[in-house]
């Protein structure tokens, strides 16, 4: 995507901060990341996105509402073609989207998470934002919709990369040239970047075997005075409570530390953050995460104890998530 003239300085600043080294390594990272083909057919995803129908110049992009939507006049056959191609990228987990009249009812109501987070943020207008583990980019579009100057999603999932590119096809370059996606993990981000005004890590910390290292990595991506928005699974308890589940938690194999929100605040303080505050804590419901026509595999309801919905099927407390905001000292 071309760099808009008004963003050249921003990119130059970004490059000065060490991204040039990162970008030099990018072709190799892309090859590694995109070749991984974790759950499917990478060439088919790429081809599906390339075959999406050309859109008329007049379209209405709305990144400010619960459903990220692009209205465009498509013929019936174009719309059917778009739907068939978008379905080649299933499962769609994060959304909802409405693209050229095709409603994508995703596994997650990611809009509900955004509603819990958005009121507590330092206003995003004009800010440089990083969304670590940003999935297919749903929240990134909402961040752009809230006026961010530059939004970068990093996520190593090749499927999510192509879902993002599909949405990008509909949004177009003219309506938004601020939102970008690099298919890399947090471990690929250059050290001490100190670039972003706001960094989000939502749904990632509990997947990290070294959570404190993750917090320090996040801190180093922020400029002094920047804001971290952390959302993760927590358990009830005081500052000494942390759950390390066995092999699986709610059927997920790669879950490590689930602190109480009080313990999480202490971790953040120990890692050098200040002004640490819990702004939301809620049990995840089976209305928020559920199987749909666009994600037909098992979902949360299948991962809970059928006789006791307050427990996972492994006997742990049911998923509960906290949003914590903290500042990198100025
Ligand atoms: N090393 C890594 N570095 C960065 N991302 C990673 C890494 N490993 C996995 N991921 C990515 O982290 C995301 C976790 S989902 C949260 C999505 C969104 N943020 C949400 O809040 O809805 C979890 C959930 O469903 O809540 C996935 O997209 C992974 O590919």
Instruction: Confirm whether residue 113 is marked as ligand binding.
Output: yes
Q: Shortest CA distance to 26 belongs to which of 161, 183, 243?
A: 183
Q: Give me the count of residues in the chain.
A: 330
37: left (phi over 0), alpha (psi -120 to 50) or beta: left
11 — pLDDT class (breaks 50, 70, 90): low
* Ligand 1 atom closest to Cα of residue 135: 28
| Average pLDDT, integer, range 252-269 | 98
Q: Shortest CA distance to 135 belongs to which of 183, 88, 76?
A: 183
Sign of the alpha-carbon torsion through 210, 215, 218, 223: negative
Report residue 15 as tokens: 């490059």
Task: Please check whether residue 117 is in contact with residue 229, taking contact to mean a CB–CB distance below 8 angstroms.
Answer: yes
Ligand 1 centroid from CA 5, angstroms? 32
Which protein residue has the closest C-alpha to ligand 1 atom 25?
203
Topology given in CATH for the domain delimited by 30-327:
Rossmann fold (3.40.50)
Which protein residue has the closest C-alpha to ligand 1 atom 26?
203
| Average pLDDT, integer, range 9-16 | 56
Residues with CB under 6 A from ligand 1: 94, 110, 113, 132-135, 154-157, 160, 185-187, 202-204, 207
Lowest mean pLDDT among 37-41, 134-138, 248-252, 296-300: 37-41
What is the share, in percent, of the chain residues with pLDDT greater than 70?
88
Q: Determine the 3-state secondary structure of 164 from DSSP.
A: helix
Residue 37 is predicted with a pLDDT of 47
Q: Is the pLDDT of residue 316 over 70?
A: yes
Which protein residue has the closest C-alpha to ligand 1 atom 11?
133
Residue 28 is predicted with a pLDDT of 61
| Average pLDDT, integer, range 208-219 | 98
Instruction: Confirm whether residue 107 is marked as ligand binding.
Output: no
Burial of 325 from C-beta contacts in 10 A (0-12 / 13-18 / 19+): buried
Report residue 48 as tokens: 């599906």
Distance CA 99, CA 137 (A): 14
pLDDT digits (tens, 9 = 90+) for 26-48: 556 555 555 554 556 788 898 99
Instruction: Confirm whether residue 187 is marked as ligand binding.
Output: yes
pLDDT digits (tens, 9 = 90+) for 71-84: 999 999 999 999 99
Q: Round the average pLDDT of the chain to a whole number and report it.
A: 91
Residue 241 is predicted with a pLDDT of 98
Which protein residue has the closest C-alpha to ligand 1 atom 2?
185
In Å, how far from its chain's centre is CA 205?
12
CA dihedral 143, 30, 159, 50 (to 10 degrees): 90
* Ligand 1 atom closest to Cα of residue 156: 30
Q: Determine the 3-state secondary structure of 285 from DSSP.
A: coil
């Amino acid at each position: 995507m071309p760099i808009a003239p008004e963003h050249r300085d921003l990119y130059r600043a970004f490059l000065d901060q060490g991204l040039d080294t990162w970008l030099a390594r990018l072709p190799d990272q892309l090859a590694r990341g995109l070749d991984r083909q974790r759950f499917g057919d990478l060439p088919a995803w790429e081809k599906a996105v390339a075959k999406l129908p050309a859109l008329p110049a007049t379209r209405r992009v709305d990144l400010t509402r619960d459903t990220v939507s692009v209205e465009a006049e498509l013929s019936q056959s174009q719309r059917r073609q778009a739907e068939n191609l978008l379905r080649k990228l299933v499962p769609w987990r994060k959304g909802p989207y409405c693209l050229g009249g095709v409603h994508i009812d995703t596994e997650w109501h990611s809009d509900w998470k955004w509603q819990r987070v958005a009121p507590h943020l330092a206003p995003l207008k004009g800010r440089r934002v990083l969304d670590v583990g940003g999935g297919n980019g749903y929240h990134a579009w909402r961040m752009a919709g809230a006026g961010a100057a530059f939004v970068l999603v990093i996520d190593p999932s090749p499927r999510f990369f192509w879902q993002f590119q599909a949405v990008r096809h509909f949004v177009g370059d003219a309506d938004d040239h601020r939102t970008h996606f690099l298919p890399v993990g947090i471990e690929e981000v250059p050290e001490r970047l100190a670039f972003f005004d706001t960094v989000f890590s939502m749904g990632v910390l509990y997947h990290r075997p070294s959570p404190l290292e993750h917090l320090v990595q996040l801190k180093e991506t922020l400029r002094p005075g920047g804001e971290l928005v952390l959302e993760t699974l927590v358990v009830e308890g005081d500052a000494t409570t942390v759950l390390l589940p066995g092999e699986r938690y709610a059927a997920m194999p790669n879950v490590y530390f689930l602190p109480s929100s009080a313990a999480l605040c202490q971790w953040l303080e120990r890692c050098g953050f200040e002004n640490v505050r819990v702004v939301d804590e809620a049990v995840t419901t089976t209305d928020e995460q559920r199987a749909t026509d666009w994600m037909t595999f098992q979902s949360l309801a299948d991962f809970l104890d059928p006789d006791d919905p307050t427990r996972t099927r492994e006997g742990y407390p049911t998923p509960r998530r906290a949003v914590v905001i903290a500042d990198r000292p100025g």
